[in-house]
Amino acid sequence: MNLTAKDTNTKSTEEIVTALADLTRYVKEKSPFYQRKLSSLTVGSDFSIESFKKLPFTTKEDLAANDLDFLCVPRNEIAEYVTTSGTTGSPISLYLTKSDLTRLAKNEHDSLLLMGNTSDDLFQLLTTIDKQFMAGLAYFLGVQALGAGMVRVGPGVPQLQWSSILKYKPTKLIAVPSFIVTLIEYAKENNIDFNNSSVEAIVCIGEPIRNEDFSNNILGKRIIENWDVQLFSTYASTEMGAAFSECTAQNGCHLNEDLLFLEVIKEDGTEAAHEETGEIVVSTLGVTGSPLLRYRTGDIAKVYRTKCSCGRSTPRLGPILGRKNQMIKFKGTTLYPKAIFDLLDLYREVSCYKVVVSKDQLNNDEITILLEDKIANSEVFASILEECQAKLRVIPKFDFLEINALRAQVYKKNLRKPEKIQFSE
């Protein structure tokens, strides 16, 4: 694939308007869903960014309810079928053409270059490439476009991961960061000299490793305080078919303007300014299979609009602060899962955990935290209870499981990501 890296210049207003007009015309002509939704719209010479921002949003509920009506090509032009992970509801299907796969490769190729990777690197993939998972496929394609090599090990199984690392000597890992904690603990338990391994850096997906000031959060610190590696943060979703990725300056995850148009919408409906917080809204540029117009991700983050020290002027996103539909109301207190994760990540003794949110008889939220049985009745558990009272202002219920049983609850074979939180009725 002949892919070029993104340069440091932002697109002109004219280029952005042209891309948005092309997207709007395309979905209005090709997508049954948008034909209905935009039936009265005319995209004329007066089309602008401002007029685009007046178009209706697309939601997860729209996707779930309409599915194939978002498809813009005949079924025989679909090259790949992917689904969302279903973390916040039932999985949603999306359909990729051959050109969409090339776009996917370009995204990860550009992202890997931002992080300083080269064709001399060898990557080990610690996440699945099957089960219709886009991320594993995207990284495989991106690494191939970069001209580098990849060892596809897949998720879980620390012993297999370390066997592969010691045999093939990859320089970079692509992984969910909470699993890296498990990998470190396994190495310690089995006398593996992990700090003298070949691994130099880890591309972190699925979970934030930064605070709002871009310093390492508790999870990030827990990794680098044990393992002398660089961590790079990313933010992505299956629906957008692209990722926001850190550069070597590590001052937020950059927008790839070739692939996405970004809006960050505040609670009052206005656009978030520099260092303001809002919901991430994306429009997918260059997608031919299932393009999306003004898609509300439900993810909340801070946006940074000043030039990065790397020289790029594109907007950057801070870590995801929470999801609008994952707000927990427990004993009069409002919580996002991240607050619970951050508290548990404080403790090196806690290598694995799961948060279960259920409803009581009055339909109020209840929180149960699953921990390893060796922590029960320990000083560590007493400290966790104190931290819950101090930082969360409430104390959840706790259940304790044998470590392998707990890991089986978190790293389920039928799921593509660790299930650190479960919402059940």
The 10s digit of each residue's pLDDT in 183-239 is: 999 999 999 999 999 999 999 998 889 988 899 998 899 999 999 999 999 999 899
Give the end of a domain, one of 307, 322, 337.
322
Tell whether the model's pLDDT for residue 331 goes beyond 80: no
- Both 254 and 348 in one domain: the answer is no
- Both 252 and 354 in one domain: the answer is no
User: Each residue of 16-55: pLDDT tens digit?
Assistant: 999 999 999 999 999 999 999 999 888 888 999 999 999 9
Other beta carbons within 10 Å of 414: 6
- Name the residue range of residue 395's domain: 327-423
- Both 120 and 103 in one domain: the answer is yes
Q: Per-residue pLDDT averaged across 97-111, rounded? A: 97
- Both 269 and 228 in one domain: the answer is yes
Give the end of a domain, one of 322, 347, 382.
322
- Both 51 and 85 in one domain: the answer is yes
**Residue 87 to residue 82: CA distance in whole angstroms:** 15
State pTM to two decimals: 0.80
Tell whether the model's pLDDT for residue 1 goes beyond 50: no
Split into its structural domains, the chain has a count of: 2
β-bridge mates for residue 423, sequence order? 357
- Both 333 and 385 in one domain: the answer is yes
Q: Per-residue pLDDT averaged across 103-130, rounded? A: 95
Tell whether the model's pLDDT for residue 371 goes beyond 70: yes
- Both 271 and 403 in one domain: the answer is no
Q: Which CATH number goes with the domain that contains 359?
A: 3.30.300.30
Residue with tokens 């995850």: 253
Q: Which CATH number goes with the domain that contains 1?
A: 3.40.50.12780
Residue 172 has a pLDDT of 98
Tell whether the model's pLDDT for residue 370 goes beyond 50: yes
Residue 212 has a pLDDT of 85
- Report the range out of 8-12, 152-156, 217-221, 241-245 with the highest average pLDDT: 241-245
DSSP structural state of residue 9: P
Residue 376 has a pLDDT of 94
Residue 306 has a pLDDT of 93
DSSP letter string, 137-158: HHHHHHHHHHT-EEEE--S--H
**Residue 98 to residue 140: CA distance in whole angstroms:** 15
Give the end of a domain, one of 271, 290, 322.
322
**Residue 420 to residue 339: CA distance in whole angstroms:** 13
**Residue 221 to residue 231: CA distance in whole angstroms:** 10
Cβ atoms of residues 209 and 92 within 8 Å: no
- Both 167 and 79 in one domain: the answer is yes
Q: Per-residue pLDDT averaged across 371-385, rounded? A: 94
Residue 51 has a pLDDT of 94
Residue 6 has a pLDDT of 47
Q: Per-residue pLDDT averaged across 164-180, rounded? A: 96
- Both 417 and 288 in one domain: the answer is no
- Both 286 and 378 in one domain: the answer is no
- Both 403 and 312 in one domain: the answer is no
